[in-house]
Structures are given as C-alpha cells and as structure tokens.
Chains A and B, each alone.
Chain A
C-alpha cells in the first residue's frame, strides 16, 4: 500500500470502567472503502468517533493525510460523519441543513444556497430544498444527511451505521447509491456497521473488531473464507469449528484428531504433533447424503431455517456436536429433510480451513 491516508497508531480509549479501544493499528489508503464490523460494544463506533475527534483518545495517535490529529478539535478536522440517528437539524429547512457546514466556513449566503441545491439535485432531492425535515421520508432524510456531509468536498467520509434505520428495500437502494458516490468522488469512506451484508456489498476491505481490538483485516472474501481465529469464524456466522489434536504432519497437510474422528486439513505452516488445532468448515461446503454413506459423518437433523432461497440445516452428531449446513432450497427438497431424519455429512478436505490462531 502507498502511504496511508488515515493511520491509527496504537489508538487507545478508556472510559471509566470500560476499555473501549485497546491500542489498535490500522492503515487506510486514500480512496479506499473500509468497513469496520463487530458486535455491539466492540469499539467500532468509538473508533469512528475518535477519528472524527468527538472523543479524545487516551493513547496513541491518528494521522490523516500524514498530519497528527492530536489536539485538533472536531470542528477543525473536516471529517464529516453520517450518523445513525442522522442528526439533522429539525429547526432548519432541507437546504439550510445541507448548507450548514458552509455557513460554519463563512461561505456567503448565495454561494451556500447554490452549492446546497447542487447537492440536493445530485441526491435526487430537487424541489425539496425549502421543506421542513419533518416533511421528508426516511430515505429522503438519509440523502439529506449524506448531502450535508459531502457539501464541503471532504477527502474522507465517516458513516456510523447509516442504513440501520431504513427498511430492507431502502437499505439495498442506499447501498447502491453509496457505492456509486464512493466511485464518483474517489474519497475515503470509513463505514461502521454490524450488518455483514452491507459490509460485504460495499467495502474494499473489512476490519473485524471485538472487545476493543482488531481481530482481522482483509478483503471480504478473505475474511469470509480464511478467518484468522474462532471469533471471526463465528462472527461470519456460517462456519463450523472443529477442535482437536495434531496427530501427524506432512507437507501442507495436518491430520487432526477430533472427537468426531480424524480429518485431513490443509495447512500453510506446519504444526508440532500433539499441539491443539482448530479448523473451520464453511456451512455451504458440506455435502449431504443418505445416512450410512461411506466416509460420511452420521448426524440427525434437528431443525431447518429459511434464509431466502437458501436454507440452513441444523444437525447433531451422536456425540452432540452441532453443525450448520447451508443448501439451496431445491437440494433440501431432493433429500426430503425433516427434523429427526438421519443423514450423512462430508466435505472435501481442501475446503477445511485451519485457523492460524487455533486457541
């Protein structure tokens, strides 16, 4: 990566009785779209507030465009943010809201209005300029909030769960819109969300946080297929984790003995025999067959869950280990699955992913 545009260096934030951000390091390139994900309370929003200068770090530094942000108050940073609550000013009209940052920069009234209208046009809100915020729909308010953040032509935009207040249909439309804006403007977007679908649809890189620390940074497919540890594997949702002991190691391969049997796992690095190892089988990479199939793992179906055109099948082995399996609707129908039915699981060894951090 060329010189990073935003750099978090050992960034740390303690609140009384709560260590929100634990000395994280992160580099973001100019023009990159980075999504920070994690469960609530993981420190992702705090990180964003620290970048914006709305909270004071208790350690480390933030550099934007090479310049240390230490001691620079929020209002001098030019790091506009789109808020989860939108934070539109209810006593100002739509155009006045969009023009607010320009007013703070002492831009003249006529010029302010011109640029606000330009942005409203761009966001498909022409003719709404003189309305009250209360007269707009949720999607329109969202656009006003985005226009207000971009009217000063910043080189970075922070977004804090901006779509969580919208219904599913609007959310997808706004995702497309944000993606388009990001491409057109070419500026850096830092996007905080707990929704995997948004992060995967939008971001160039994904940062997974937990308990104030960064767990993994990578392209969406990397984080999804090659999680570094059990937390990321579980946070990604559709992964089955198996734990066991290394019984044999050859070139690029480990034999791992688990309570369910011994499995072949591809490995980039070798591990000592008798060490602990954990590996992941993605839910969509497990094949189902009639019970008793050779080389398969017998299990009982305990439940089915619809997720659109795919279904999640929950099964349990005799020893009580639960698996989640994702299948297309028509495959489920072919197998005639129902709770209580016996089936056989298998996977290709090359689809097993050894967790680099196998704790």
Chain B
C-alpha cells in the first residue's frame, strides 16, 4: 500500500509547490486588482465594499487619460517600427553573408543587455543634442531600439524553419525578388510578425525608465503612475494598475497565441 501512497503524496507535494509559486507571483497583482474595486480610501482589511469610484476617477483625470493615449500611440508606433526593422534585420541575417555580419547582429541584439538607466541617460544626452528631446517620437524611437532586438530574435527563429529552397523556388516559378519576399517570405513569417507586433507593444507599454528620461512633459502610463505615487498614496493607482495589467496580459497572450497557433500546424521544414 505504501508504494501507492508515496507517489501520490509526491505528486500532491509537487502540485502544492507549483500552486504556491503561482500564488506568490500572482498575489501582488491580484491585490492591486481587488483593491481597485474597494470603496475604502486606503487599502485595508476588511474590504470596504465594491466600488467603481477609482476607475471612474482615472477616467476623469485628464493627465491619466493623456498618459494612456500617449502610451497607446507610443506602443503602436513601436510595434509597427520594431516589427518592420526586426523583420528586415532577421531577413538580412538569414539571407546574406557579408563582411561584419557578426558585428551587425551583435549591434541589433545588444540594447536589451544595456542597463536601462544607462540607455535612458545616453538617449537623453543624444536626443537633446539633436533637439528631439521631450517628444513622443523620441520615446517611440528609443522603445523601437530596444524592442526591435526582441522582434528580430522572434522572426529570425521563425526563419530557421524557412526551407533554403523556398525562395529560389518562388523565383523559379516566376516571382521577382520583391514578389517572392511578399508572397513567400512574409506569409511564412506572419505568425512571428504578429507575435512581434504584440510583444513590442507590450515592451513599450510597460517601459518606464526610457520614457521617463526622454519623454519630457509627455508622460506615458508608467511615468504617470510613478508621479502619482511620489505625490501621495492615491487609490487611483490601483485602478490604473488594473488597467495596465489587463492591457499587458492581453498583449502578451495575443503574442503567444499567434506564435502558438501555427506551431501545431507546422509542417516538417521543407
């Protein structure tokens, strides 16, 4: 009998450990979500009852609304630019061999490895010389620099499965180089391109340091949250946090869904 009980206990322990781990990760976020609907002014126990006051308050706060709008603009811009650049870089790496290619790939890959504080300061110094400091475009450019590394990695990974013969086969069947790029390479990469779009948007949406350094008066949502926190403990923060959390999770889930949806259908690399 003991031989049956032991494996069961072991499995139970494993499940409990996993559950504990998830609770540890998710609990702080859950707390924010729960208290964003709390009628109390301060997050205390017991709960003061359900209320949408704080969510209504952030809707009425012009600065929060602007910050949201900025974040969406910056996120969209970053997503589009970073996916375009990431695809271009990945395709160049896949397609050609040239002198200095290692250096080129390193250059694309390096931004996420640089501490964001240093990246932020460097970009601030650089942009103020160019007179681009304090503009949303500047934030988009800087976010793109970071996010395109992820885009490139994601798309390059997909291109690993792109059969060496597929593009020449398209030329052979009457496709010009441009036509082959758009009718063969891009469709093949589509899941990775969509995933890259959402992932870049998520990276941008959550990024604080660079936005804080170069955004000037144009606050994105993370910057607004910090500014709110510095002023006073405001229950609106929980409400903002809940919305940010929902958006971020949605973006990442979408990214994963588009990467995953084709994995199951993938053919053996031809």
Which A residues contact B (CB, under 8 angstroms)? Answer: 52-54, 73-76, 78-81, 83, 85-92, 100-101, 103-105, 132-134, 148-149, 152
How many A-B residue pairs have C-beta atoms within 8 angstroms? Tell me.
Answer: 80
Query: Judging by beta carbons under 8 Å apart, are A81 and B172 in contact?
Result: yes
A101 touches B173 (CB 8 A): yes
A81-B169 in contact (CB<8A): yes
B141 on the A face (CB < 8 A): no
Mostly, the A contact residues are loop
Partner of B270 from A81, A88, A148 at Cβ < 8 Å = A88
| Set of chain B residues within 8 Å of A76, measured between Cβ atoms | 174
Nearest first, the 10 closest Cβ-Cβ pairs linking A and B are A87-B169, A104-B174, A134-B267, A87-B165, A101-B173, A90-B267, A74-B171, A104-B175, A85-B165, A75-B171
Closest chain B residue to A79, Cβ basis: B172
In the bound complex, do residue A89 and residue B166 qualify as a contact, i.e. CB atoms below 8 Å apart?
Answer: yes
Pairwise interchain contact A54-B171, C-beta atoms closer than 8 A: yes
Q: Judging by beta carbons under 8 Å apart, are B179 and A87 in contact?
A: no
State the CA gap A152–B176 with chains docked (Å).
Answer: 16
Nearest-neighbour CB distance to chain B for A146, whole angstroms, equals 13
Whether, in the assembled complex, B187 has its beta carbon less than 8 Å from a beta carbon of chain A, the answer is yes
- B→A interface (CB under 8 Å): 163-166, 168-177, 179-180, 183-184, 187-188, 190, 265-268, 270
Cβ–Cβ < 8 Å partners of A79 in chain B: 172
> How far is the CB of A78 from the nearest CB of chain B, in Å?
7
Among B170, B172, B177, B180: residue with most chain A CB under 10 A: B172
Cross-chain contact A85 with B190 (CB below 8 angstroms) = no
CA distance A149 to B188 in the complex (A): 21
16 A-B residue pairs with Cβ-Cβ distance under 8 Å, sorted by A, are A54-B171, A73-B171, A74-B171, A75-B173, A75-B174, A76-B174, A80-B173, A85-B163, A86-B270, A87-B165, A89-B169, A90-B188, A101-B174, A104-B173, A132-B267, A133-B267
Contact: B171 with A90, CB < 8 Å? no
Q: Which B residues are in CB contact (< 8 Å) with A83?
A: 165, 169
Interchain CB contact under 8 A, A90 and B173: no
- A100 with B188, Cβ < 8 A, contacts A87-B163, A134-B267 known: no
- How many angstroms from the CA of A103 to the CA of B173 in the assembled complex? 10
Which residues of chain B have C-beta atoms less than 8 A from A73's C-beta? 171, 176
The residues of B that contact A75 with a CB separation of less than 8 Å are 171-177, 179-180
How long is the Cα–Cα vector from A75 to B180 in the complex, in angstroms? 10
Q: How far is the CA of A86 from the CA of B172 in the complex (A)?
A: 12
In contact, A89 and B174 (Cβ under 8 angstroms): no
Given A75-B174, A85-B163, A89-B188: 13 more A-B contacts, CB < 8 Å: A75-B171, A78-B174, A81-B169, A83-B165, A85-B164, A87-B166, A90-B267, A92-B187, A101-B173, A104-B179, A134-B266, A134-B268, A152-B173
Closest residue of chain A to B190 (Cβ to Cβ) is A91
Please give, as numbers and ranges, the residues of chain B lying within 8 Å of A100 by CB-CB distance: 170, 173, 175, 183
B172 near A91 with CB under 8 A, answer: no
Report the separation of the CA atoms of residues A354 and B169 in the bound assembly, to the nearest whole angstrom. Answer: 44
Q: How far is the CA of A53 from the CA of B171 in the complex (A)?
A: 9
Q: Chain B residue with minimal CB distance to A78? A: B174
Given the known inter-chain contacts A74-B168, A87-B163, A91-B190, please indicate yes or no for A105 contacting B270, CB distance below 8 A. Answer: no
A54 to B171, CA, bound (A): 8
Contact B173 A148 (CB under 8 A): yes
- A17 to chain B minimum Cβ distance, whole angstroms, is 14
Which residues on A sit within 8 Å (CB–CB) of B174?
Answer: 75-76, 78, 101, 104-105, 152
CB distance from A107 to the nearest CB of B (A): 11
Give the distance to chain A from B159, nearest Cβ to Cβ, in Å: 13
* B190–A74 CB distance below 8 A: no
A133 to B179, CA, bound (A): 21
Q: Which residues of B contact A52 (CB under 8 A)?
A: 172
* Nearest chain B CB to A160 CB, angstrom units: 9
CA distance A332 to B184 in the complex (A): 57
In whole angstroms, how far apart are the Cα atoms of A88 and B168 in the complex? 11
The distance in angstroms between the C-alpha atoms of A214 and B172, with both chains bound, is: 25
A284 to B94, CA, bound (A): 51
Name the A residues within 8 Å of B170 (CB-CB): 89, 100, 104
CB neighbours (8 Å) of B171 from chain A are 53-54, 73-75
Query: How far apart sit A101 and B184, CA to CA, in the bound complex (Å)?
Result: 12
Closest to A133 in B: B267
Q: Is the CB of A54 within 8 A of B173?
A: no
Q: Are B168 and A54 in contact (CB under 8 A)?
A: yes
Nearest chain B residue, comparing its CB with the CB of A141? B270
Query: Which A residues are CB-close (under 8 A) to B180?
Result: 75
List of B residues within 8 angstroms of A148 by Cβ: 173
Q: How distant is B209 from chain A, measured CB to nearest CB, in Å?
A: 39
CB distance from A135 to the nearest CB of B (A): 9
A78 to B173, CA, bound (A): 7
Q: Which residues of B contact A78 (CB under 8 A)?
A: 174
**Which A residues touch B266, using CB under 8 A?**
90, 134
CA distance A152 to B169 in the complex (A): 14
A90-B270 contact, Cβ under 8 Å, with A75-B175, A101-B174, A104-B174: yes
Which residues of chain A are near B177, meaning CB under 8 Å? 75
Q: Which B residues touch A54, using CB under 8 A?
A: 168, 171-172
